[in-house]
Amino acid sequence: MSAISLIIIVLGVAVSIFFTFGFIRGVHNAIAAIRSTKPAGQMPENGHWASIAIVFSLSIFVIAGIGYDYRFIYAGPLLVLVTAAGTALAFFIEKRPS
């Protein structure tokens, strides 16, 4: 097994654990929000277009890069791990309903 494969596996396990705890926290927050008698707050609109454009551009770069050099094949799993970690982080950043 190559070193990069081992790194991706270890990071995958760590991100999976982080995501699971974040997801559990998000479910608890959602249940608390449903049980809350207060109306939901204003949802932000159009706040994520820059990050969507960056991730979309990176995925195009990685897919095209695989055709030029075989080592780009490892960038795909790393991008997936970064995306999952970012989603898990969003669960933790979310404010608990009061």
Band (pLDDT 50/70/90 cuts) for residue 12 is very high
d(CA 59, CA 97): 35
pLDDT score at 20? 96
Band (pLDDT 50/70/90 cuts) for residue 50 is confident
Sign of CA dihedral 49, 94, 89, 32: negative
pLDDT score at 46? 65
88: tokens are 């898990």
Q: What share of the chain is helix, strand, coil (3-state, %, to 5)?
A: 80, 0, 20
Mean of all residue pLDDT scores within the chain: 85
pLDDT digits (tens, 9 = 90+) for 54-84: 888 988 988 899 889 888 888 888 888 988 9
d(CA 93, CA 78): 22
Angle between helices 75-93 and 49-68 (to 10 degrees): 160
Q: What CA–CA distances, in Å, run from 84 to 28, 32, 91? A: 19, 24, 11
